[in-house]
Amino acid sequence: MSPDDVIPLGDTGMWARRAVVDAWTAAGSPPVNSATRLEDEQQELYDGWQAGLPGYAPADNPADTTQALAHVRGVALDITPTPERVAALEAAGLVRPYPYEEWHWQLPGDVRRFPLITTYPIPETIQQLGDVMSLRIISSPAYRAADQRVIHNGSSAAAIPAGWTTALILQGHIDHADYDADHLLEAEVNLVWQLGGYTAEDAAKRTAALLSGVKE
């Protein structure tokens, strides 16, 4: 095992490098608002900041790899600070390099020594797959722009775009008994891999590997 491995961040449905996960665990596993981001997620934050949209803080440009891009490198966490959390996270070795982002924690030193993370690892369990799918879906601009009352009001599966139903079932947001087995088809899992940034060929391979060897 390497401290650079990208692994699940506890049961948050997020991912980070092992060194970050270890530090977060040592700090008592405080609630996390954001961890590793893929390039498209970072791009949305950068574009929102550049456009001056409300709620968008300064963000690195994912096209410029000379920038820190700590989240895209898997070495940063966004955690709402409290005195107790600050003391614990500092004691665990994480730092806050930006005075204007008191919630941003990362590994110390030049984080550019870590490569950018382009895809999430292959989940080993159905639960991890659900975590990945939910994270990718709820962080996508398309989901944010959609009418989320569809999910919260338990609307019909037909009203939920392909791929979302599976993620929501696996995360427990939708009762599986309300839907027939067609909503857990291999094709839908394959689609979600593609939503996660994999090519169609890679998605097919990962789907087959997951469904043939998944641990319940």
Please check whether residues 21 and 62 belong to one and the same domain. yes
Query: How large a percentage of the chain has pLDDT more than 90?
Result: 30
Q: In terms of domains, do 155 and 57 share one? A: no
Q: Are residues 104 and 10 in the same domain?
A: yes
Residues 27 and 105 reside in one and the same domain: yes
User: Could you tell me if residue 118 is inside a domain?
Assistant: no
- Select from 80, 113, 146 the last residue of a domain: 113
What number is the average pLDDT over the span 1-27?
A: 89
Answer yes or no: do 21 and 73 share one domain: yes
The more confidently predicted of residues 28 and 6 is 28
pTM above 0.85, yes or no: no
161 versus 104: which is more confidently predicted?
A: 104
The domain containing residue 90 runs over which residues?
Answer: 6-113
Domain membership of residue 121 (yes or no) is no
Does 138 share its domain with 188?
A: yes
What CATH code is carried by the domain that includes residue 62? 3.30.1380.10
Assess contact for 25 and 48: CB atoms under 8 A. Answer: no
**pLDDT tens across 63-94, in order?**
888 989 999 999 999 999 999 999 999 999 99
Where is pLDDT greater, at 120 or 95?
A: 95
**Residue 152 pLDDT > 80, yes or no?**
no
Please name which of 89, 98, 102, 75 lies closest in space to residue 9, comparing C-alpha atoms: 75
Between CA 76 and CA 105 the distance in angstroms is 5
Q: Are both 17 and 77 inside the same structural domain?
A: yes
Residue at which a domain ends, from 67, 92, 113: 113
Nearest CA to 102 among 123, 124, 79, 121?
Answer: 79
11 and 109 housed in the same domain: yes
Number of structural domains found in the chain: 2
Q: Please tell me whether residues 172 and 98 are part of one structural domain.
A: no
Report the alpha-carbon distance of residue 161 to residue 115 in Å, rounded: 33
pLDDT of residue 18: 93
Q: Angle 156-159-160 (CA atoms, 0-180°, nearest 5)?
A: 100
- Average pLDDT rounded to a whole number, residues 115-137: 63
Per-residue confidence band for 103, with pLDDT thresholds at 50, 70 and 90: very high
What's the mean pLDDT in 39-67? 85
